[in-house]
Amino acid sequence: MDIDLPKEANKIRQDIIEMLLEAKSGHSAGSLGMADVFTALYLGGVAKHDPKNPAWEERDRVVLSNGHICPVLYATLAHAGYFPREELKTLRKFGSRLQGHPNRFVLPGLEASTGSLGQGLSLACGMAWALRLDQKRNHVWCLTGDGEQDEGQIWEAAMFAGKYKLSNITQIIDRNNIQIDGHTEDVMPLEPLKEKYESFGWHVMETDGHDIEEITHVLNETKKIFEKPSVVIAHTIPGYGVDFMEWKSEWHGKVPCAEEAKNALNQLRSLCGNITSEHE
Ligand SMILES: Cc1ncc(C[n+]2csc(CCOP(=O)(O)OP(=O)(O)O)c2C)c(N)n1
Ligand SMILES: [Mg+2]
């Protein structure tokens, strides 16, 4: 059966709102903004994976270096069939498998425990290097934030990947222009980001972060690049789909109150069906 991917991404966004409302803490803007990229990755056939066999040897490795946006990862994993959607409501609860940052020891499907910004890309490079040494064909997908690019460790990893020509890794940067304290270009200018990565020996591609067809195409193209690591700069809108959150850095780490969540869900439902009625 063909999945309607934009509709699925919108359902994921609705789940994110409900999870954050229930948890009363967490990160709204980045999670909503990356729903289309995650949909392409896990439901659009980009990453090789099997929800029924999370430890499958042939699986690709997905590392969420910007671990704070894990609500989108959890919601996507649930939609992909890794665990029941009902569990999403346990986000950030004591003893839950869905911690505020990913814990790979408790949730099947996670490759790395992340949240300390800057570290995930190094982990991912290590995985890619090890897979290369073992002559395996698995691909490594590493998601990072644009504010996360301020971490020096990102550029150590970038040098390493360039030196060893790790063509089995694709970094996907959530280029949403916000970080915890404001706009990226005010806090610590990143531009020209494309040229920076090119000078570190990476193949750079860009995509509209909300066009699932384009995202899927661009991510798949990176698998065909040999001799270089790839980075995809995904231009996203933080808080995508909820007008009072879009582009606003104050929604980086804030959650909606009951009234705001109702408003957000109404906006998302009017875009693309009502998730509750479909899943009940
Ligand atoms: C090493 C480290 N320093 C600080 C933080 C706190 N922190 C969490 S998210 C964030 C902002 C990151 O910006 P970006 O990657 O652009 O995320 P976005 O706001 O777009 O979700 C910061 C500083 C952290 N998690 N790790
Ligand atoms: Mg950002």
In order of start, what are the domains of the chain with their CATH numbers? 5-279 (3.40.50.970)
- According to the model, what pLDDT value does residue 278 have? 42
- pTM here is 0.97
What atom in ligand 1 is closest to the CA of residue 31? 21
Distance CA 120, CA 124 (A): 6
Q: Is 66 in the pocket of ligand 1 (CB under 6 A)?
A: yes
- The CA-CA-CA angle for residues 78, 60, 240, to 5°, reads 50
- Which residue minimizes the CA distance to atom 15 of ligand 1? 145
Q: From residue 268, give the alpha-carbon distance in Å to each of 128, 191, 274.
A: 37, 32, 8
- Which residue minimizes the CA distance to atom 21 of ligand 1? 30
Tens of pLDDT, residue by residue over 119-149, are 999 999 999 999 999 999 999 999 999 999 9
- According to the model, what pLDDT value does residue 280 have? 33
Low-confidence ranges of the chain (pLDDT < 50): 273-280
- According to the model, what pLDDT value does residue 1 have? 58
